[in-house]
Amino acid sequence: MPGHEGTSRTGPEDYSIQGQASRIHQFVQSIGLDKTPFHLVGTSMGGNVAGVYAASYPSDLCSLTLVCPAGLVYPTESEFISRLRKLEENNEQKESIPLIPSTLKELDAMLKLCCHNPPNLPRQVLRGLLANRIPNNDFYKEVFMEIAGEKSRHSLQEHLHLITAPLQVIWGKHDQVLDVSGAAVIQKVLPRCQVDLLDDSGHSVALERPRKLAKLIMDFVHSEAKKHA
């Protein structure tokens, strides 16, 4: 994703959801991935981006999986959104975003927020995780403020009606970051989508239920491929 890991950091215009979708499209074109339609998977913020990508570049995709995607209007407010609202009211939002920890205590709280059964990691590993993240925190905050702003907050919601690719939606039933009620919102606009709600999982589905997630995605990709064989 733009600015993450080894990818160049440019500016806020690329960190909006539409900006990220455009950047990924450039990447797809530059490596020739668009020569045949491909399956796209996006999680959380990436789910928002993947949905907007599918709406903007429909001929690129053969199918789409959205895992606990951001960018919707959720009927039920999650624990994370409720905490954000309180921070906004106290004008503390930029200083203290629950998903951007700067102390071990905040990292513990983030893992509890993201996982239904948080991993029991040794202190040394937690310190290492935190040490890797802290140098990037200003960047993470810049991206967060951009995607939580007016322009990007409901990007997926606004583009749902334009998605034509066969769609699979996967959500952890105990998601405290983005409430599972978002699945019904997608289903209402795109009734033919396949929805899988997972027990024993919160927001970090790939961390908590990796085999189940991989199987659901591969089964969906294969079933869609058979339809067009």
Q: What is the 3-state secondary structure (H, E, C) of 126-137?
A: HHHHHHHHHHHH
7 by DSSP, 3-state: which? Answer: coil
**CB neighbours of 190 closer than 8 A, spacing ≥ 6?**
160, 163, 167
Buried-exposed string 117-148: b where 16+ CB fall within 10 A, e elsewhere: ebeeeeeeebeebbeeeeeeeeebbbbbebbb
- Is 175 catalytic? The answer is yes
Of 107, 153, 115, whose CA–CA distance to 132 is shortest?
107
- Is 30 catalytic? The answer is no
Q: Where does the chain have alpha helices with state H? A: 12-15, 17-30, 45-56, 79-89, 104-114, 123-133, 137-147, 155-159, 182-189, 205-208, 210-227
Residue listed under structure tokens 């895992």: 67
Of 101, 96, 177, whose CA–CA distance to 133 is shortest?
101
Q: Annotated catalytic residue: which of 16, 44, 78, 201? A: 44
Q: Annotated catalytic residue: which of 14, 60, 175, 196? A: 175
Q: Is the dihedral of CA 69, 73, 77, 80 positive or negative?
A: positive
Give the H or E element holding residue 42. Answer: strand 38-43
Catalytic residues: 44, 175, 203
